[in-house]
Each structure stands twice: as structure tokens, then as C-alpha cells.
């Protein structure tokens, strides 16, 4: 296999009409690291636009049995496009690595803001909650539940707008599967119906939003315990209790909306029913908020963003390579993978499809994994 190390290639040698690959980008600052790989800012050599490049080691993904989650994130991201979501711009792969190029978010995440300030001003919390609610409504209209709404997955741009990210355990419902029973997400932010192993829908995301709102305002989560089992029991059975002197801290309207979001019954929870979002937007807590301008990101944030230090990496070789061809997978005489790793790699080859947002149009979209799966009476999708 022909490869070259992670050094810049002359732009004259690059064919930008070919499938997108790593050589199309300048590698800039490293801004994050996770279980499967890293995230760094990159710049497209032709358009000069910057993106957040999320790159994941295939071997680690296979060992962690995360193939289906990675493919889910890739395919759902192709189906959505919204100002308050970290939108997918490119997807590609080489022998060892999967790449997702996303909208860059240089303001860090809400967890970072909490670590810096402990609690946030109510107006700032209202701004974030409204941004997240708009994104949830957009997803839910497409029958998509995020299932892992938490501060780490809410990213901020330089204008202090909150964006949903990390769709690797998101689920898209179909008419044939209107409910999901699996327990997925982060326990502290899981809705009671998930923990009780009852069938659930998009209602679980509104509960998670309530937990985030509580945490941003008070600096602690509404349900906490010393063990996993005790935490589950608390979420399922304990009443919602606010800190002492709560009305000296935030408004009654803020308390009311948090209470509505943290209703243990999805049948009564705020935001969970058809046309419920209009009721949510008209809540007194949002009085005076121009939702149309907010959605278009035309409003000034009520608070300045706490600067997030970005880790600077001067193009060090961290394992990225420019591949000129793919390796051959070990197959038997019937072209069936002979090892589990080969089977997983073949699945990635077939289902982690290339994506280039500059080439996509409403009239000329390829059928993806999800389009084949949900081709019967599905809602209109982008």
C-alpha cells in the first residue's frame, strides 16, 4: 500500500475532483481527544473553509464493539442539517481511520463552562436551553432521538450559540418501530422510562434537557447518589427537590420550566407531545425571546463566552497517513471475511459511505444505509 506520512503535499499534486481524502486538508490545531480518536481543526486546501475533523481508529472501534454506533452517527448526520447542530460536511476513510469533517465549534462545551464558573447566569441558561430545544424539535420532527443530551455533547461556537453534537447512540424511529427499549445514554441524564426499561420515544431528550438546565443553574444535578444502583433508584423514585432559598437564585418561571421538563411521566412532561413545542416556546420564561432570530443565529448572546483554551499542535505526526489505496481484506473462496476483524472492516467499507456536502442536492442523493432501512412511510428528511 502506498502511503506517506502526515506531511503537507503540494496542492498542485492533489486532484480535488476525486473522492475526498485527508490530503485535501491542512491539519491545524488539536482541540480534543476521545475514546476512539481525536478532533483537530483542519482547513480545506481549495475552499479555505475550516472544519473540525473527527478521526477514529478502526481497530479501537472494532475492539470496543462500536461499529454500529459509528455507522449510526455517520448516517444520521447525513440526514440532518440545522444551524444549531454540528453538521456533517465530509466523511471518508482509509485503511486505518474513519474521518468526519464537521462544523467547527471553538467555544468548547458546556461542561467546560460549568468547570470555569460553577453556575451560569439565568439569562445565559435560558439562551442555551432555547438553542437546545430548537435542535431537539428539529430532530424529533424527523423521528430522531439523540439519547445522550449532556453538557459534554453541547458545543459552543464563537458567538456563544449551543449546538448538539455526538450522534453515535441516536436512534431514528420508523412506523414499524415506534418505540425503543434499549438502555442507552449517560445514567445521570437518562429519563425514568429508559431506566425502567419501558418503551420510549423522543420524550427522553426533554428530560435530559431538564437535567442540564438544573445543573447549569444550580451547579449540581437534580438526582445524585454514591453508586449506579442508588442513582437509578433515585431517578425512578425520588421527588424533584430544589436547593434551599431557590427563589433567591432564579425566577419562578425558571423553576416552573425545569419542573415541567423533569416530570417523571412522559405523558405529562413539557415538550413531549404533538404541537407541544409551541407551548414550550410560549412559556413565560421565554417572554420577549425572538425564536425566529434565535434559530437564524441573529441575536446577541446575553453573556460573553468564557474563552476555551485550544490545544495547539504544530502538525505533529499522530498516526494520520495519506493513503493511496486500500488494503486487501482476508476473504475465503466465497468472498466472505475469514476473521471477525475483517468482517467489521468490510462492514465499515460498505456502510461508512463517503460524503461531500458540496456535491449533495435534493434531486441527486445516493441511497444510504438509513434510506434503505426507513423507506416505508418515513417523514420527509433532508
What's residue 66's pLDDT? 85
What's the rounded mean pLDDT across residues 36-50?
92
* pTM (predicted TM-score): 0.83
What's residue 324's pLDDT? 42
pLDDT in tens, 61-87: 888 888 888 888 999 999 999 999 999
Choice between 327 and 186, residue whose per-residue pLDDT is larger: 186
Beta-strand ranges (E) seen in the chain are 3-4, 25-33, 37-44, 50-57, 88-93, 97-102, 144-145, 154-156, 162-164, 171-172, 322-323, 355-356
Grid cell in block for residue 335: 468472498
Which residues face 50 on adjacent strands?
A: 43
Grid cell in block for residue 44: 480545506
Q: Is 148 a catalytic residue?
A: yes
Classify residue 354 by burial, with Cβ atoms within 10 Å: 0-12, 13-18, 19+: middle
Instruction: Give CA–CA dist 166/76, Å, rounded.
Output: 11
Residue ranges for the binding site for ATP?
Answer: 54
Going by their DSSP bridges, the two strands 154-156 and 97-102 should be labelled as unpaired
pLDDT band at 41 (very low <50, low <70, confident <90, very high): very high
b/e for 159-187, b at 16 or more Cβ within 10 A? ebbbbbbbbbbbbbbbeeeeebeeebbee
Residue tagged active-site, from 109, 148, 157, 166: 148
What's residue 303's pLDDT? 82
SS3 202: coil
Given a cut of 70, whether residue 338 has pLDDT beyond it is no
Contact 44, 104 (CB under 8 A): no
Q: Which residue has the cell 444505509?
A: 369
Which domains, and CATH codes, for the chain?
3-105+311-373 (3.30.200.20), 110-295 (1.10.510.10)
Residue ranges for the binding site?
Answer: 54
Q: Which of 204-213, 218-227, 331-340 has the lowest mean pLDDT?
A: 331-340
Contact 341, 62 (CB under 8 A): yes
Grid cell in block for residue 173: 424511529
SS3 69: helix
What's residue 320's pLDDT? 54
pLDDT in tens, 235-261: 999 999 999 989 899 999 999 999 999
Amino acid at each position: 500500500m502506498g502511503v506517506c506520512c502526515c506531511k503537507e503535499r503540494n496542492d498542485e499534486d492533489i486532484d480535488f475532483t476525486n473522492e475526498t481524502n485527508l490530503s485535501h486538508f491542512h491539519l491545524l490545531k488539536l482541540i480534543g481527544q476521545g475514546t476512539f480518536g481525536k478532533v483537530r481543526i483542519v482547513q480545506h486546501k481549495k475552499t479555505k473553509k475550516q472544519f473540525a475533523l473527527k478521526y477514529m481508529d478502526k481497530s479501537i472501534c472494532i475492539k470496543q464493539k462500536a461499529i454500529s454506533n459509528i455507522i449510526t452517527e455517520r448516517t444520521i448526520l447525513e440526514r440532518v442539517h440545522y444551524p444549531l447542530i454540528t453538521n456533517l460536511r465530509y466523511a471518508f476513510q482509509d485503511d486505518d481511520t474513519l474521518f468526519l469533517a464537521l462544523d467547527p465549534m471553538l467555544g468548547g462545551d458546556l461542561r467546560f463552562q460549568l468547570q470555569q464558573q460553577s453556575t451560569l447566569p439565568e439569562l445565559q441558561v435560558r439562551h442555551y436551553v432555547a438553542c437546545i430545544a430548537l435542535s431537539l424539535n428539529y430532530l424529533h420532527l424527523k423521528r430522531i432521538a439523540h439519547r445522550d443530551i449532556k453538557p459534554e455533547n453541547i458545543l459552543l461556537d464563537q458567538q456563544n450559540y449551543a449546538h448538539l453534537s455526538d450522534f453515535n447512540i441516536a436512534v431514528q424511529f420508523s412506523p414499524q418501530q415506534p418505540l425503543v427499549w434499549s438502555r442507552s445514554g449517560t445514567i445521570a441524564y437518562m429519563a425514568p422510562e429508559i431506566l425502567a426499561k419501558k418503551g420510549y420515544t423522543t420524550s427522553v431528550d426533554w428530560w435530559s434537557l431538564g437535567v442540564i438546565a438544573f445543573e447549569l443553574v444550580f451547579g449540581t444535578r437534580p438526582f445524585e447518589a454514591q453508586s449506579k444502583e442508588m442513582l437509578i433508584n433515585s431517578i425512578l423514585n425520588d421527588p424533584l427537590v430544589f436547593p434551599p432559598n431557590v427563589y433567591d437564585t432564579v425566577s419562578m418561571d425558571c423553576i416552573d420550566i425545569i419542573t415541567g421538563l423533569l416530570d417523571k411521566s412522559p405523558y405529562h412532561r413539557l415538550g413531549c407531545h404533538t404541537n407541544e413545542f409551541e407551548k414550550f416556546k410560549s412559556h413565560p420564561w421565554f417572554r420577549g425571546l425572538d425564536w425566529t432570530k434565535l434559530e437564524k443565529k441573529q441575536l446577541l448572546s446575553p453573556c460573553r463566552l468564557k474563552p476555551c483554551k485550544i490545544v495547539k499542535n504544530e502538525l505533529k505526526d499522530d498516526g494520520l497517513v495519506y493513503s493511496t489505496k486500500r488494503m486487501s481484506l482476508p476473504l475465503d473462496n466465497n468472498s466472505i471475511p475469514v476473521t471477525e476483524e475483517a468482517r467489521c472492516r468490510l462492514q465499515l467499507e460498505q456502510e461508512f459511505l463517503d460524503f461531500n456536502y458540496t456535491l449533495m442536492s435534493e434531486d441527486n442523493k445516493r441511497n444510504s444505509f438509513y434510506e434503505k432501512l426507513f423507506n416505508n412511510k418515513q417523514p420527509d428528511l433532508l
